[in-house]
Structure 1
Amino acid sequence: MRLWSVSMMVVAFGTASMAQAAETTPNYTFDYAYPAAAGQIGPLRAWLEADKARMRAKLAADAAAARADAKKEGFPFRSYDASKTWKVVTSTSRFLSLSGDVGSYTGGAHGMSQSLSLVWDKKAGRQVKSKDVFVSSAVIQAAFGTAWCAALKTERTKRLGADAGQDDIFKCPKVSDLTLLLGSSNGRVINRIGLIADPYVAGSYAEGPYELTLPVGAAALRAVKPAYRKDFARP
């Protein structure tokens, strides 16, 4: 009897949109995918493949240990699950901006999710952190904090049906606690910023993540490091 299965679809970049690997065993289910635009950049593709291998190896080790513990203690083992999907936010002449969605389940009451940001600087030929294109965390907060909190209050009120803007448990988080995505409406320059608060960051697990988009304004342009300023513009 075949106890496990592996399927891997490595598509021809330029003719399909994703490279995807999927594996199911008695201990775990694993999925990892990234877009063709990332696969066309050799060093970035190598990093993604290494990230996939690290993630799969950790999942396999953790799930095997959990199964052994369950057998030793005499309780049922629940199969683990891990997934990561990268998607293109935008691609400009300077940046390839990706968003990452991570899901995991380790036998608890529910799984967990996490958002990620990956930015490839085409000019420098390396990854940069999205927040590192700005002068400092304090300047990012000054540029986006007020608009972020106002938009979050509006969205939380929509979801909860009441004014949740002054929640004693989940106060408006700082921008430094969020996932920051570089975005563009025209594919030429970065002119909008995506901000994501994962579950438990700005609200309960039941509320889900909060993802809001803000335009790049004058304050945001001043917050960008000089080396990147020409790659940003107001909408």
Structure 2
Amino acid sequence: MRAPLFLISLALSSAACSDGAEYAEKAGVGETATTTANAPTGEDSAAEPYSSEEETDRYQFAYSWPSEVAGEPELAALLRTKADAMLAELRGEADEDWNSAAGQEWTPRQHSASEEWKVVADLSGYLSLSGHLATYSGGAHGMYGMQSLVWDREAAVAMKGIELFNSPVALEQALGKRLCDSLNAEREERRGMKVEEGSEDMFDKCPGLDEANVLVGSSNGRTFDRITVYFGPYVAGAYAEGDYELDFPVTASVIDAVKPEYASAFSVNR
């Protein structure tokens, strides 16, 4: 089985002094380009997940979404457009890297990009998704992250989770002290030391939700009653600390921060 892209990225970053041939060997890169896809076909296409992979000596690409997305043709078309754009950008950057190395005594490292969409909540009117992204472009290490997408089934509109709220600041105020307290508790556990109150260190401060991705979830299958605040690498801590994923129940104050047109989709977590 081929190694996931993020593992390949880690393998590449751990061998920063190796040459291109060694990178290719570690990543299992062959000389022949390969493309595989599992696209929905036949009468049961609406229930089939989608996945696509493409690999050459210059890049490796993977993109997928679950069957719930396949059941929403307009959403599937939107994600296919995103996938095409990601692949085009990956190819362009890889080609630029290889072209600049022409005639040189070094071989660029294989680039990679992948995104896997997963279901966070599947409600009658909305489908909430998380997109898990990983990229590598030849540096010391790859990058990764998670993004939010909420599909409004009636309006056939895709939006970020934070767009269900009046503003990032409104949700930030609704969460209040819980946001920073939860983040600092995670920081202290990972760092093994207390976060000093009033510290001017950028990784000790509490980032605003304009720097986060907000996912909306459900524990009852009927309404959104929980949210996740996601801070990617370098946002709330150094790269070595990883990302921060903080979960909160929906409260009355959180519902007050929701845009009126989406308020009926939320309930207090009991």
Q: What band does the TM-score fall into relative to the shorter chain?
A: over 0.9
Query: How big is the shift at 1:129?
Result: 2.5
Aligned pair partner of 1:155 in 182, 186, 189: 186
Is residue 169 of structure 1 aligned with residue 202 of structure 2?
A: yes
Query: How big is the shift at 1:125?
Result: 1.5
Q: Which has the higher strand share?
A: 1
The CA distance in 1 between the partners of 2:98 and 2:196, in whole Å, is 43
Is residue 221 of structure 1 aligned with residue 238 of structure 2?
A: no
Query: How big is the shift at 1:165?
Result: 5.6
Asked whether the equivalents of residues 153 and 165 of structure 1 are also in contact (C-alpha less than 8 Å), the reply is: no
Q: Which amino acid aligns with 1:187?
A: G
Is residue 108 of structure 1 aligned with residue 142 of structure 2?
A: no
CA deviation profile, 1:93-128 (whole Å, cap 9, x unmatched): 121000011111100000011211111011211112
Query: How big is the shift at 1:2?
Result: 6.0
The CA distance in 2 between the partners of 1:147 and 1:165, in whole Å, is 17
The CA distance in 2 between the partners of 1:233 and 1:184, in whole Å, is 9
Q: TM-score, normalised by structure 2?
A: 0.82
Unaligned runs of 5+ in 2: 1-29
Q: Which amino acid aligns with 1:200?
A: Y
Q: Which amino acid aligns with 2:34?
A: S
- Give the CA RMSD over aligned residues: 1.7
Q: Which amino acid aligns with 1:99?
A: S
Number of residues paired by the alignment?
A: 234
Aligned pair partner of 1:9 in 22, 35, 38: 38
The CA distance in 1 between the partners of 2:119 and 2:169, in whole Å, is 27
Alignment-derived partner of residue 245 in structure 2: 211
Query: How big is the shift at 1:164?
Result: 2.7
Alignment-derived partner of residue 218 in structure 2: 184
Alignment-derived partner of residue 39 in structure 1: 70
The CA distance in 1 between the partners of 2:138 and 2:213, in whole Å, is 26
Is residue 29 of structure 1 aligned with residue 63 of structure 2?
A: no
Unaligned runs of 5+ in 1: none
Q: Which amino acid aligns with 2:265?
A: D
The CA distance in 2 between the partners of 1:146 and 1:128, in whole Å, is 27
- Between the aligned residues of both structures, percent identity stands at 37
Q: TM-score, normalised by structure 1?
A: 0.94
